[in-house]
Amino acid sequence: MTVEARLGTVANYVDERTGGAAWMKKNLQKVFPDHWSFLLGEVALYSFVILLLSGTFLTFWFDPSQREVIYDGSYEPLEGLKMSAAYASTLHISFEVRGGLLMRQIHHWAALIFMAAIVAHMMRVFFTGAFRKPREGNWIIGIGLLTLGIVEGFLGYSLPDDLLSGTGIRIAEAIIQAIPVVGSYLAYFAFGGAFPGEAFIPRIYTVHVLLLPGAFLALITVHLMLVWYQKHTQFPGPGRTEKNVVGYPLMPTYMAKAGGFFFIVFGVTAFLGAVASINPIWLFGPYTPGQITAGSQPDWYMGWLDGLVRMAPPIETHAFGHTISWNILIPGLIIPGILFTGMALYPFIESWITGDKREHHLLDRPRNAPNRTALGAMSLTFVMVTLINGGNDIIATHFDLSINQIMWGTRFGVLILPPLAFVITKRLCLSLQRADRELVLHGRETGTLLRLPHGEFVEVHEPISPEKAYFLTSHEQAPALELPEVDGRGVKRAGVLRNKLRSRMSVANAEAIPKVSVNDLKEIEHH
């Protein structure tokens, strides 16, 4: 019996008992659009798979305990030192387990790539408007995955119990204690007593390898199910509408691409793990509360939070027997809470401003949504400035600057640069819209100069293709909402201030260069 016959027999056996052939035939032919930016989400998914596989390998030898041991391993500089069993087992994995160091580094690099892919994927979704109805729920799931990724990465980073990770845990404990009234109780609960305690590593190990991966799997499953049910978004183009999907079938095209792309992501991650050292915990030594590492830097996705805490001025309030450390509470909890809440609510805020309640399956070009693009650029600028301040000690030593110079530079920068980025980005988007309009009206510049009979020199323009013209003119331009303060009978409407705010925001959001109309094209042809 041939291989095809054996597979056919197995498939028939399963189909007779499950009736899945019709469902499989229908869904394996499902069409997905093809664009390079859609691979960002796949990078995140494959990195997560690599994290699960490499993390499972590490659990075989890692001892999540804070009991004190005397190190007698192969790394001689630490021989005879007192350390936790967690740190000793991490050294054992790094130096004595075959392939252990490589797997540790693959795990850490996969975490960094995973977070970078999530951020890049969400930037693609935001700047193209893929979060609009009916995908608001999937956007919120993405925010949840981003938040869980930050927490999961921090907990994994803290497990080796080295001096560097212990410094990060100490900062986290300070942020917990900064919560008014209940902060101290929460810190004692988390650490099993006073910092550092003896129960923290086992607790975060359980959260890191069991609870949060389970939450990840649940959210990723729901995310993919929604993508499958709601269909994938696509960029505008000839033949593409809000009611169809132009692309290639899942089987065999995308299955083959997905398989190959997984091994590419795994190969790149393994290469980085093999040649680029990351988190050399043996250089830091075991954690002791009385010491701190010079130049302690968290992973990049935590760096902006560290930078916020570093730049906050020392402000405290004493009231009713309680001390509120605003310099920890505001940058460590309030500002991140506002940012992530604003990100989660943004689809609903934009829909409220524009009054658009329709379904959208076609993506926007970022230039055609200047306010949204400018807001995204402003947010990224804020994060980048705070990230720079998160590495102010390293920058100071490498560029021969003082900490104060960097600190005050980023303090002013975090207030000045984000609004400036908003204005510049919006102007750039409008300029690009104007360039698109000129391109449709007058064609592409050829670089050829023509001298007219009366002596004038003009540049010869070449008409663009109909496909290009359609691409540049197919987007919608929503008008500003008209929200009069009084109704038709002259009676003042309820919520005047709210409507006035909504009207002003709608006018600002509707600012755009008018796209080329049919009348404009006829006028050009006439001339």
Rounded CA separation 35/392 (Å): 38
Rounded CA separation 381/27 (Å): 42
pTM over 0.85: yes
Could you tell me the CA-to-CA distances from 98 to 86, 173, 274 in Å, in that order?
18, 35, 14
385 CB-near residues (< 8 Å, 6+ apart): 307, 410, 413, 414, 417, 418
DSSP 314: -
348 CB-near residues (< 8 Å, 6+ apart): 136
Task: Locate all alpha helices (DSSP H) within 195-238, ordered by sequence.
Answer: 200-206, 212-230
Instruction: Estimate the crossing angle of helix 100-128 against helix 300-311, to 10 degrees.
Output: 70
Rounded CA separation 122/130 (Å): 9
∠501-412-299 over CA atoms, to 5°?
95
Could you tell me the CA-to-CA distances from 371 to 105, 142, 194, 206 in Å, in that order?
41, 22, 48, 43
Annotate 62-83 with DSSP letters as a single string. Answer: ------EEE--SS-GGGTT-EE
Rounded CA separation 462/160 (Å): 64
Sign of CA dihedral 148, 150, 156, 159: negative
- 3-state class (DSSP) for residue 477: coil
pLDDT tens string, the chain, 527 residues long: the values are 677 777 778 777 877 777 777 777 777 778 888 889 999 999 999 999 999 999 999 999 999 999 999 999 899 999 999 999 999 999 999 999 999 999 999 999 999 999 999 999 999 999 999 999 999 999 999 999 999 999 999 999 899 999 888 888 888 898 899 888 888 899 988 888 888 878 889 999 999 999 999 999 999 999 999 998 888 899 988 888 888 888 888 888 888 888 999 999 999 999 999 999 998 999 888 988 887 776 677 888 998 999 999 899 888 888 877 788 898 999 999 999 999 999 999 999 999 999 889 999 999 999 999 999 999 999 999 999 999 998 888 888 889 889 889 999 999 999 999 999 999 999 999 999 999 999 998 888 888 888 889 988 888 888 888 888 888 888 888 888 877 776 666 666 677 788 888 888 888 888 899 988 777 777 766 65
Domain ranges, ordered by start, for the chain: 1-32, 35-236+246-293
Give me the residues paired with residue 463 across strands: none
State residue 488's pLDDT score: 63
Q: pLDDT tens across 172-224, in order? A: 898 899 888 888 899 988 888 888 878 889 999 999 999 999 999 999 999 99
C-beta separation of 328 from 312 below 8 A: yes
Task: Locate all alpha helices (DSSP H) within 276-400, ordered by sequence.
Answer: 300-311, 326-329, 335-354, 370-390, 392-398
Q: How far is CA 162 from the centre of its chain?
A: 28
| CB atoms closer than 10 angstroms to residue 82 | 11
Give me the residues paired with residue 317 across strands: 324
Rounded CA separation 106/53 (Å): 10
C-beta separation of 50 from 71 below 8 A: no
C-beta separation of 232 from 35 below 8 A: no
State residue 443's pLDDT score: 86
Give the CATH superfamily of 35-236+246-293. Answer: Cytochrome Bc1 Complex; Chain C (1.20.810.10)
What are the structure tokens assigned to 182, written together?
A: 């209940």
Q: Nearest Cα to 293, choosing from 157, 149, 164?
A: 164
For residue 331, cis peptide bond before it (omega within 30 degrees of 0): no
Q: pLDDT tens across 255-275, in order? A: 888 899 999 999 999 999 999
Rounded CA separation 333/354 (Å): 31
Rounded CA separation 386/333 (Å): 15
C-beta separation of 175 from 332 below 8 A: yes
Give me the residues paired with residue 31 across strands: 249
